Structure 1
Amino acid sequence: MDPRPWHSHYPQEVPPVLDYSSAPLAALLQEAADRYPDRTAMTFFGKKTTYRHLLDRAYRFADALQRLGVRPGDRVGLLLPNIPQYVIGFYGTLFAGGVVVQLNPLNVERELLRHITDAGAETIVCLDLLLPRIRRIREKAGLKRIIVTGIREELPAVKKALYPLVQKKDRDARSYDAEGEQLFEFRRLLRTAKPVLPAVDIEPETDVAVLQYTGGTTGIAKGVMLTHANLTANVSQCRAWLYKVEGGQEVMLTAVPLFHVYGMTVCMNFGLSIGANLLLVPKFEIESLLKTIHRFKPTIFPGAPTMYLAINHHPAAAVKYRLSSIRCCISGSAPLPQEVQQQFERLTGGRLVEGYGLSECSPVTHVNPMWGRSKSGSIGLPWSDTDAKIVDPDTLEPLAPQEIGELFVRGPQVMKGYWNKPEETAKTLVDGWVRTGDMAFMDEEGYFHIVDRRKDMIIAGGFNIFPREVEEVLFEHPDVQEAAVIGIPDEYRGETVKAFVVRKPGTDVSEQALNGFCRSKLAAYKVPRVYEFRDSLPKTMVGKVLRRELREGERTEDDGSKE
């Protein structure tokens, strides 16, 4: 059998092998500013920044970092939502030769302390609202410099006056020198710095550009080392796949958090590489998002299933808002239910396809063809220069099409390794292949299908049950808005299936009704034995359901019941 059957199903415009740039990652911004100097690079609540101005500010931030003592290879943390300062801080850090450490603004102090100390970051760019949190861990974290910025700084003049939430916080945050701290204002640093490119030598193949901490859905997060070459390769692969996008013409709805590897690559890096206008959305709120789409007419919308689901279920989406500007969407970070895909495409007239990736791969490895044959329920085809195979997770022997095993991936986007964790690196990187931990199969045409996480698999009475299969059935019920399935202890079967269900508004589907529905579509041993109805499910910021939290909640309840 052809070891790469997916190549025969590529659109003819997509080459299986690409030529890659040998320049550092930040050259993407320089090239875009050279081609589209007066094109809008970012729009934030109506305030626009051109590519010329964005490059100027990134150069200034790089100069400011060097003046503060940041040297090539030093780690600089970004603790920011999707605001212009994130993009400036990201590229400015790279221009200075630094390594960007992606930090989640929703993380609690314990999590931030772990990531900052693990990375050895001595400098952090922090949102003013989060400054108290950083001050409390500063000494333990070993932070030498805190650069503070706020949302209000980048708002249009009218909106600044109407932004009371931050005004008091801004005043509090500006009392920087009260304790003799080394705190600096982001905007003041830019004003006093020079718009010059620092002289820094970067080896793209070996030098790390980003430390991306894994999402933590499966345990303790690890710092993924992504080199300049890894990240530029993934951008090139994305450009090859989305071959119909027009340079200098696209508008990128940037609602996926940029601190997440998916948002960083597919929204920001890819978006800037094609001269797109990034519509920066600092927080996902459905009403605000619909207004943004209606007003600014995005053409590309990378997102997560929960985002598309929220639009589908909004009662005014089809009648009050114009959504027809949206042409292409890649869904990532979680499985895309077929019903969600079809309803969103009917609503917008755009194309929505499912893709797949992981932090260790910069992140994208597979996507369904945007303009070609897409298979619903599949993650699509491996990208150019990307190999994938299904192996027995115990023997590592390759498996035949349709056989379920662990997905292995390799390509130019594969990480250098885990930061300061050689043993973990050796477990995950096997002869250049990344062990994804996802159970999957490949069909005869080279389309890959994720069955579930290996760690999430339920073993009930000796049978293997994959939660995603059960969840897909629950999603088919007309009264179910969201569903998540886990295994819970069972004295007789070892484990049994429990379903967490969010009903659609205005419905009152019962456990008995769902049980009958599932029995009509699933083998008896896969049918949930326990149902719990909830108003919402715990998720990451990009919409991935945290099954780990659901399992931990079950253990807590069990412990409590025994006391």
Structure 2
Amino acid sequence: MVVRHILDAASETIGALRILQHRGAIDLRRPLDIVEMAKRGSTIGPSSTVILAGAQKYPDAPAITDERGTLTFAEVDRQSNALANKLLTQGLRPGDVVAVLARDHRGLIVALSATGRAGFRLAMMNTGFGKSQFVEVAEREGVRAMLYDEEFGDIVDGLPAMPRVLTWVDGERPVPDGVATLDDVVADGDTSMPPTPKSFAGFVILTSGTTGLPKGARRAKTPPLASALLLDRIPIPQRGTMVIVSPIFHSTGFVVWGVGTALGNQTVVMRRFDAEKTLAALAEHRAEVLVAVPTMLHRMIALGPEVIAKYDLSALKIIVIAGSALSPTLSQAVQDTFGDVLYNLYGSTEVGIVSIAQPHELRLAPGTIGRTPVTSHVALFDEHDQPITGIDVPGRLFARNAAPFEGYTDGRSKQVIDGYMSTGDMARIDANGLMFIEGRDDDMIVSGGENVFPLEVENLLAEHPDVADVAVIGVDDDAFGKRLRAFIVRNPDADPQPDELKLHVKTHLARYKVPRDVVFVDDLPRNPTGKLVRRMLPTGPLE
């Protein structure tokens, strides 16, 4: 058994190396360069490494473009050094936690790069935080310094005195006394490389917080072959352009930015998502890659064919979507609108990249999460922790891959069975080997003795032409224990009736899956990555 595990690991390593070579991420003919890159990653981390490498290979190439213009790799490198040295002169020590609360722009990228090379652990905060929630998370993570956008000044004011740097200034309020701006730091600071830390202090990405206070997912090790998880199934180009509108402080935007930057790509970002401005950016920069969340693509398609046709999107070859469930309806609409360019990435902050569906798989089975990439493995278990191997039999989805989770910052972790970690989702695998998410394992309700997953009902209701957005939850019921309640956002100029929507479900699914309540709302509570925050939907009696 031990010999088999060794052989399997060796085979996977060879497979990952071949993928990285094929995609241009490494050159096996230059082994010393690979060793040097791995050494840098272990001391200053992946974000600093890709910027530093870009500055050495192509210093004048564009690295990041935002509403203020474009910075080259050399400029980002120098600004990263200036910020790192500034923080080191303010009493911080390697291993200290520095938090960043910033939208997607140059300041965030500089923060990602600077903290690694200074030896700090970076905590990436959610821009959707309220003040009390932010303060609680910052205290839990032991934050010693803040990098933040001016617009979040009122939130950051809840923290005790500590070094602070403004990463973006709108000019709508005076800069607080004793707070530096990133522009000032760059203009007056030391742009030489700071002393190399002994080891990479890591970073913390917060979970989505859909069930409560976001947990901090700690990562201090980034395996050198982890990039193969993405590149195995998504052909990210070299020296091209990516438009990333998915928040970079969350896993998907962060991972694609890192891998794409390692390949020399320019990244175009915007602080706030706008559907038509995204189309304009894709056209202006002849971008080959778009990274988004499902709700963003829904809004882009809702612009209509006449608006979309105004922009030349012929360069677009890849749309990476992640962050929340992709409905079959949206899956088909995206490819009918933009061509067969959609890649549905499934994973989480804890387990990393689990699977990726390619365009042809999404045509065959819209909404599928596809297959596992190299070094990723999945298993399904029942409620008794016994393996499930049958076709189309739902089970709890567990995963393991080359980028292991190191536990939450509060000391907790996820359930692990035979080396596989729980994703928290229910899934099934069809006869073609394609995987499908059935819903969160804690979303399942029992209604009249029958198991019901709300996601199945949501996907069906999303197909109705009058439905723009939908959420289905379970609420208490005296007779059935639980019943389904559907929250519907109507399409513009549409006026669907509750009985009409119930009949739509009844026509396609079992009677016990028909929502007993249909509630019309203006919008649904979603976090910055588009995930539905079900706990914010009302479960009490309807008026």
TM-score, reference length from structure 2: 0.88
Pairing of 1:488-499 with structure 2 (within 5 A):
488-499=475-486
* Match in the other structure for 1:334: 324
Q: Is the 8 A contact 1:78 1:101 kept in 2?
A: yes
CA offset at residue 430 of structure 1?
A: 4.5
- The counterpart of 1:554, out of the listed 533, 536, 539, is 539
In 1, Cα distance between equivalents of 2:371 and 2:288: 23
- The counterpart of 1:117, out of the listed 122, 134, 139, is 139
* Match in the other structure for 1:167: 171
In 2, Cα distance between equivalents of 1:429 and 1:379: 22
Pairing of 1:53-68 with structure 2 (within 5 A):
53-68=75-90
Deviation per residue, 1:429-456 (Å, 9 max, x gap):
4454221110112234432211100111
In 2, Cα distance between equivalents of 1:442 and 1:242: 21
- The counterpart of 1:471, out of the listed 458, 461, 478, is 458
* Match in the other structure for 1:239: 231
- The counterpart of 1:99, out of the listed 121, 125, 139, is 121
Using a 3 Å threshold, how does the CA distance of structure 1 residues 281 and 497 change in structure 2: closer, same or farther?
Answer: same
Q: Report whether the alignment pairs 1:304 with 2:326.
A: no
What is the identity, as a one-letter code, of the residue corresponding to 2:38?
S
- Partner of 1:167, secondary structure, is coil
- The counterpart of 2:356, out of the listed 367, 381, 390, is 367
Stretches of structure 1 that go unaligned for 5 or more consecutive residues are: 152-165
CA offset at residue 290 of structure 1?
A: 2.8
In 1, Cα distance between equivalents of 2:140 and 2:376: 30
Q: Is the 8 A contact 1:538 1:545 kept in 2?
A: yes
* Match in the other structure for 1:531: 518
Q: Is the 8 A contact 2:238 2:260 kept in 1?
A: no
- The counterpart of 2:66, out of the listed 35, 40, 44, is 44
Identity between Structure 1 and Structure 2 (%): 24
- Partner of 1:339, secondary structure, is helix
Q: Report whether the alignment pairs 1:543 with 2:539.
A: no
Q: Report whether the alignment pairs 1:138 with 2:154.
A: no
Deviation per residue, 1:416-435 (Å, 9 max, x gap):
111131xx22x434454221
In 1, Cα distance between equivalents of 2:383 and 2:164: 45
Number of matched pairs: 513
Stretches of structure 2 that go unaligned for 5 or more consecutive residues are: 27-33
More deviation, 74-83/34-43: 34-43
CA offset at residue 86 of structure 1?
A: 0.3
Q: Is the 8 A contact 2:361 2:370 kept in 1?
A: no
In 2, Cα distance between equivalents of 1:446 and 1:15: 25
In 1, Cα distance between equivalents of 2:374 and 2:201: 23
- The counterpart of 1:189, out of the listed 179, 185, 192, is 185
More deviation, 403-412/23-32: 23-32
CA offset at residue 398 of structure 1?
A: 4.3
What is the identity, as a one-letter code, of the residue corresponding to 1:38?
D
* Match in the other structure for 2:387: 397
In 2, Cα distance between equivalents of 1:16 and 1:395: 39
Pairing of 1:70-109 with structure 2 (within 5 A):
70-109=92-131
CA offset at residue 460 of structure 1?
A: 0.3
* Match in the other structure for 1:433: 420
In 1, Cα distance between equivalents of 2:212 and 2:391: 31
* Match in the other structure for 1:163: none
Q: Is the 8 A contact 1:385 1:411 kept in 2?
A: yes
Q: Report whether the alignment pairs 1:321 with 2:321.
A: no
In 2, Cα distance between equivalents of 1:49 and 1:144: 29
* Match in the other structure for 2:260: 271
- Partner of 2:202, secondary structure, is strand
* Match in the other structure for 2:203: 210
More deviation, 214-223/314-323: 314-323
* Match in the other structure for 2:165: 147
What is the identity, as a one-letter code, of the residue corresponding to 1:247?
Q
In 2, Cα distance between equivalents of 1:371 and 1:269: 26
What is the identity, as a one-letter code, of the residue corresponding to 2:171?
Q
What is the identity, as a one-letter code, of the residue corresponding to 2:457?
V
Deviation per residue, 1:458-500 (Å, 9 max, x gap):
2101111111110111111111111110001110000001111
What is the identity, as a one-letter code, of the residue corresponding to 2:276?
E
Q: Is the 8 A contact 2:229 2:376 kept in 1?
A: no
Q: Is the 8 A contact 2:64 2:266 kept in 1?
A: yes
CA offset at residue 39 of structure 1?
A: 1.3
